Amino acid sequence: MNAAAPLLELRSVSKRFVRRPDAAARIARALGAKVADETVRAVDDVNLAVASREVVGLVGESGCGKTTLGRMVARVIEPSAGERFWKGRPYAQLESEASRRERLAVQMIFQDPYASLNPRLRVAQIVGEAAVVHGFTDARRRDAYVAEILDRVGLDASLMRRFPHQFSGGQRSRIGIARALAVKPQFLVCDEAVAALDVSVQAQVINLFMRLREELGLTYLFISHDLGVVRHLSDRLVVMYLGRVVESGPTAEVYSRPNHPYTAALVAEIPRVDARHRRYVPIRGEIPSPLAPPTGCHFHPRCPKAFERCRVDAPSLREIAPGRHSACHLNDVSPR
């Protein structure tokens, strides 16, 4: 294994979803009409490297592809193109039985603490099942194993005979986290893991994530639409818009001096407790349909600084300062 290799790396990863033609379209096509398949480029040529023990925040609005990207990292879905590496080895090499433990190293925490737990299983089964199947413990010692993990995430181990509906939202989040931790992962993909929680409970769960990182040496890909949460947790920020990464860099820098106009707008529009009686000056327009993304830079129809080239030419993600990348033509035009 190459020691310098990042823990996890994506190279030119894309995911396209193709909608199969319905009956009418198939008939039309059989009769000679030109009916194109509808293709969504959910993730379009994304590179991402995450170092061990790093927390990367992935932000963007609905439909930007952040969840799809997270799912490809966690092996829930396969990319249409591009390669994924774990500690320098391609994911494809990890398919063998001998690499079973390596495959378990990436786990996912889901958004909805209600829908992601089987309502008919007790907590001991939800948390312990995978650990038994993969040999981290056996059926006889399962409950002791589960108790230890529940204790780690701040749940009373005596509750393991209960069903998910007997818990509050915050407790369910902890169960979801415990389930992921049960197979001793090194990397957690957290997809909007605190979005469904109330403010006071959200703070408790964010603190839990930070404590677990310290105690277990975990690495996170933290996906969220909430820049306040991501800013608090992450070392590095990656901003996506309509399937492409538009900016990345150290969180504090991106936050204080955003380069891409989209990032600037996102940062400006975060509601803040200390900003009173604001005059909201929003960026115009809606997020375009990913079925028919705009030409050139996807952001140009909403961008206050767009010029001719943005309409025709898609900007590539380039290094604008050490460790900072941005995909904006303005960086070629003049010093900003």
Partner 1 sequence: MSAAARPLLEIEGLRTHFFTGAGIVKAVDDVDVVLERGRILGIVGESGSGKSMLAYSILGLVDPPGRIVSGRIALEGVDLTRLDEPRWREIRGARVAMIFQDPMMTLNPVLRIDTQMVEAVRAHHAVSRGAALERAREALGRVGIASPDERLRNYPHQFSGGMRQRVAIAIALINQPALVIADEPTTALDVTIQAQILSEMQALCRDAGTALIWITHDLSVIAGLADEVYVMYAGRIVESGPVDDVLDNPRHPYTRGLIDSVPSRNAPGRPLAQIRGVMPSLLALGEGCAFRGRCARALDACRAAPPMAAAGGRRLRCVNPLP
Q: Which residues contact partner 1 (rule: CB under 8 A)?
A: 61-62, 168-170, 198-204, 206-207, 210-211, 225, 227-229, 231-233, 251-252, 265-266, 269-284, 286-287
Nearer to partner 1, 31 or 199 (CB): 199
Judged by CB, which is closer to partner 1: 57, or 128? 57
Residue 233 near residue 57 (C-beta atoms within 8 A):
yes
Please state, as a whole number, how many other Cβ atoms lie within 10 Å of the Cβ of residue 209. 21
Which CB atom, from 34 or from 278, has the smaller least distance to partner 1?
278
The minimum distance between CB 302 and partner 1, in angstroms, equals 8
Structure tokens at 33: 């009409």
Nearest to partner 1 of 106, 242 (CB atom): 242
SS3 10: strand
C-alpha 38/C-alpha 82 separation (Å) is 21
Q: What span, in angstroms and rounded, lies between the C-alpha atoms of 175 and 97?
A: 28
CB of residue 84 vs partner 1: minimum separation in angstroms?
A: 28
Q: How far apart are CA 123 and CA 147, in angstroms?
A: 10
Q: How far is the CB of 332 from partner 1 (least distance, A)?
A: 25
DSSP helix/strand/coil, 229: helix
Alpha-carbon 144 to chain mean position: 32
Tokens of 66: 């952040």
| Residues forming a β-bridge with 219 | 187
Instruction: Kindly tell me which of 116 and 173 has the beta carbon lying closer to partner 1.
Output: 173
Nearer to partner 1, 60 or 79 (CB): 60
The secondary element (H helix, E strand) that includes residue 42 is strand 38-50
Query: Residue 240 CB, nearest distance to partner 1 (Å)?
Result: 12
Please report how close the Cβ of residue 272 comes to partner 1 at its closest, in angstroms.
5
Q: How far is the CB of 282 from partner 1 (least distance, A)?
A: 4
One-letter amino acid at 320 equals: I
Neighbours of 322 (CB within 10 A): 7
